[in-house]
Amino acid sequence: MGNYHLAIDIGASSGRCILGWLEGDRMVLEEVHRFANRQVRRNGHDCWDLELLWQGILAGLKACRARGKIPATIGIDTWAVDFVLLDPEGRLLGDAVAYRDSRTEGMDAVVERLIPAAELYAHTGIQKQSFNTIYQLAALQAEHPDQLARAGSLLMIPDYFNYLLTGVKKQEYTNATSTGLVNARDCCWDGELLDRLGLPRALFGPLSMPGTVVGPLAPDIAAQAGFASQVVLPATHDTGSAFLAVPARDDRAVYLSSGTWSLLGVENPAPITTEASRACNFTNEGGAWRRYRYLKNIMGLWMIQSVRRELNGEGYVAGKAAAPWQLDVEAGQRQWSFPDLIAAAEEAADFPSVVDVNDSAFLAPDSMIAAVQDACTASGQPRPGTVGQLMQCLYRSLSACYKEAIRSLEELTGTRYTSINIVGGGCQDMYLNRMTARATGLPVYAGPVEGTAIGNLAVQLIGAGELADLADARRCIRRSFDIHEILPGQAV
């Protein structure tokens, strides 16, 4: 048996600490701790509760010690685009404002007065999204210029937790590319863009590639954990880790990392920064070993997750009340599970309405249910009046968006794709998998579920010399985890 390695994978709703190791030619996983993630309202903004996450990370380390399974290495991945500023003494400046906060409204126009959208894309290859770090920084310049003036460091969220673990500050490449400030070809911060935006160059240091050793656990952290380990960089952007775990059979497979967001695309050896690519809003996110994740960000299961929380009387953010909506009487008289929602969708299989899941109206509405209903009404389609109709609308809309994204991908790359590989928690939704296979006419290969943690571990195992390279890692993943095949002709 090989050494233990620990993947700390933090998503929008929860974090998981997952140990991984090799037994023969197979990878084995063991979840040792799970903890909540949440947004809180602070100083007029929706923010991440960093202290809650930090205590979850420490509890995960202690759980390893309690099981007598000490990891040789530790790697952290999280979502992208969000960051913190530290003062010269390493203390937090301000809050970790979450990307769904409304502070970036109108900031694209502010940035585009300095850098036209086409020029920005030609530099960075990153798709325009209202919450990209470049727009968050413009909002911060407008609201708190003093914070930028006082800052000694800018760290993306996983960079910050690595700093807390080790006392070492490193800016990791894959997450940095999501800022919209990294030159797609040089793989470094784009100094010209920083200067034109008036951002201090001192905040943007050398970028470190996945596989880089950050350092050992700081003495006080090692004392709390009960052991000493090396912290290493995986692809700290969770999508970057998830794509590494895709056990594709050939180079004509579309990858889909399915979770709160659906990230659909392929791996390329070089960025595509043409005007046609920008018009289709495809992005060139940096990957491990300088590969490029050429993909489309799609709203994903966020809409379904939001509907379930709303039906069960929960707001999407603490302190935000859901707006009123009207569905059948049954909707408000039970607690809905995801299987319940799927069953309801199946019962409303003939409901035809489809919405644009990438519409900004669905990014952070007070009521997701009302937002979907209003979109159907505005487009002249039947308004969903039952839970089943609402869910059928969402499933149809997601699968239709996947189909359109693949069509655009084929036009932009000149490649005909023959399959879809889905990884992440969303690959467990077999109804959506069947809808996707039917809509696209392509076979779907669903799994592994823990794609992000597996990709995180793959980088650690390669760095430790236990796997030879990415191709070896993907062969190992195919041997180790269940992959379900869904053919286009299977009944929905």
Task: Extract the tokens encoding 374.
Answer: 């209003």
Structure tokens at 193: 């863009």
Angle of helix 302-311 relative to helix 387-413, nearest 10 degrees, comes to 170
Looking at the chain, the number of H-run helices and the number of E-run strands are: 18, 20
d(CA 140, CA 68): 45
Q: How far apart are CA 38 and CA 333, in angstroms?
A: 26
DSSP sequence for 375-437: HHHHTTSPPP-SHHHHHHHHHHHHHHHHHHHHHHHHHHHT----EEEEESGGGG-HHHHHHHH
Q: How far apart, in whole angstroms, are the C-alpha atoms of residue 126 and residue 149?
A: 27
Helices (H), 245-318: 275-279, 302-311
* Whether 62 contacts 11, CB under 8 Å: no
Task: Please name which of 86, 75, 353 lies closest in space to residue 200, comparing C-alpha atoms.
Answer: 86
Catalytic hit among 46, 49, 238, 429: 238
- Give, for 31, the enclosing helix (H) or strand (E): strand 26-36
Query: In the structure encoding, which two tokens stand for residue 67, read together?
Result: 């099981």
What angle, rounded to 10 degrees, do the helices at 338-347 and 387-413 form?
A: 90
> What residues have CB less than 8 Å from 236, skipping those under 6 apart?
75, 76, 77, 78, 156, 158, 159, 172, 174, 175, 210
Q: Is 195 a catalytic residue?
A: no
State the pairing for strand pair 83-86/153-156. antiparallel
Residue 2, exposed/middle/buried by CB under 10 A (0-12, 13-18, 19+)? middle
Residues annotated as catalytic are: 238
